[in-house]
């Protein structure tokens, strides 16, 4: 464990000169390793293991933090390769599902909250919460702007197999295309099942979907 922290500290130190232009210190500077320890010590020891597993970081998360989500291109490419390799497809190989199901999933923002204060009830549907960040169907006005506007996505980008696969892959693991993007990796974390992802693909691409019709 100690060695891990030491390695992390070393990585942090190496990161500084690697940044292009004005050298921006990695967050936490020389106290990054201590901050990690402090953060981990902030949680009740009797928390279920499943909860605490949500504090673990894979290489992508660690590296993104180190570079304030803006890694040098070389490191970004390495992360993108790592993430491409994680993508799994539905058993039947069909990447475009039912847009009506996708429409529901795009609107659901609850699910997955844990803890003692305001947890979600077990089994609560987890959606993609797409509207938190994207504009999609014209009729939905309560959309966020963290991600790009996806209104008419299918009309503009088409229904080619290539585009369908791109959308599936992007939702499954957004970091396969852009390392350290703000977008979650829905498939990698099993937040959405491959089948649910195909429904959201349909919501974006199907010509009958309100994303492309209204």
Partner 1 sequence: MIRRLTQTLVGAAVAVVLAGPVVAQDKVADELAKYREALADGNPADLFELKGEALWAEKRGPKNVSLEQCDMGLGPGKLDGAYAQLPKYFKDTGKVMDVESRLVHCMVSLQGFTPEQVTQQWYSKPGKDADIEALVTYIGAKSNGKPINVPATHPEEARMARMGEYIFYRRSGPQDFSCAICHGQEGKRIRLQELGNLTTKDGAGTAMKTWPSYRVSQGTVWTMQRRLIDCMRQARWPEPEYLADSVIALETYLLKTATGTVMETPGIKR
Give contact residues for partner 1 (rule: CB under 8 A): 27-32, 34-36, 38-39, 41-44, 47, 51-52, 54-57, 60-61, 64-65, 68-69, 109, 112-118, 131-133, 138-139, 141-146, 175, 182-185, 189-191
Name which of 24 and 160 has its Cβ closer to partner 1. Answer: 24
Between 10 and 94, CB nearer to partner 1: 10
Q: How far apart are CA 71 and CA 4, in angstroms?
A: 21
Smallest separation, CB 92 to partner 1 (Å): 25
- CB contact burial 22-36 (16+ within 10 A = b; e otherwise): eeeebebeeebbeeb
Q: Minimum CB separation from partner 1 for residue 144, in Å? A: 4
Decide whether 23 or 160 has the Cβ nearer to partner 1: 23
> 């690697």: which residue's tokens?
18
**Residue 193, both tokens:** 């099942």
Query: Is 90 or 112 the residue whose CB approaches partner 1 more closely?
Result: 112
Nearer to partner 1, 6 or 35 (CB): 35
Nearest residue (CB) to partner 1, 2 versus 139: 139
Phi, then psi, of 188 in degrees rounded to 5: -55, -40
Measured from the CB of residue 180, what is the shortest distance to partner 1 in angstroms? 8
Name the CA radius of gyration of the chain, rounded: 19
**Lookup: tokens for 160:** 């080619």
Q: How far is the CB of 25 from partner 1 (least distance, A)?
A: 9
Residues 6+ apart with CB under 8 A from 194: 88, 89, 90, 172, 187
CB of 130 to partner 1, least distance (A): 11
Is-contact 80 179, C-beta < 8 A?
A: yes
CA distance 52 to 24: 31
Q: What is the nearest approach in angstroms of partner 1 to the Cβ of residue 43? A: 5
């Amino acid at each position: 464990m100690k060695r891990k922290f030491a390695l992390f500290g070393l990585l942090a130190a190496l990161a500084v000169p690697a940044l292009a232009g004005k050298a921006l210190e990695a967050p936490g500077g020389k106290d990054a390793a201590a901050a990690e320890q402090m953060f981990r010590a902030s949680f009740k020891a009797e928390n279920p293991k499943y909860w605490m597993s949500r504090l673990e970081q894979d290489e992508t998360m660690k590296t993104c933090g180190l570079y304030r989500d803006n890694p040098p291109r070389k490191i970004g490419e390495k992360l993108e390769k790592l993430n491409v390799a994680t993508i799994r497809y539905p058993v039947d190989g069909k990447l475009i599902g039912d847009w009506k199901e996708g429409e529901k999933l795009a609107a659901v923002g609850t699910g997955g909250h844990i803890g003692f204060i305001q947890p979600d009830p077990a089994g609560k549907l987890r959606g993609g919460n797409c509207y938190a960040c994207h504009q999609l169907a014209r009729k939905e006005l309560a959309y966020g702007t963290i991600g790009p506007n996806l209104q008419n996505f299918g009309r503009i980008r088409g229904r080619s197999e290539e585009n369908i696969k791109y959308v599936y892959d992007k939702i499954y693991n957004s970091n396969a295309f852009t390392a350290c993007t703000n977008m979650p990796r829905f498939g990698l974390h099993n937040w959405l099942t491959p089948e649910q992802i195909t429904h959201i693909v349909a919501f974006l691409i199907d010509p009958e979907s309100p994303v492309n019709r209204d």
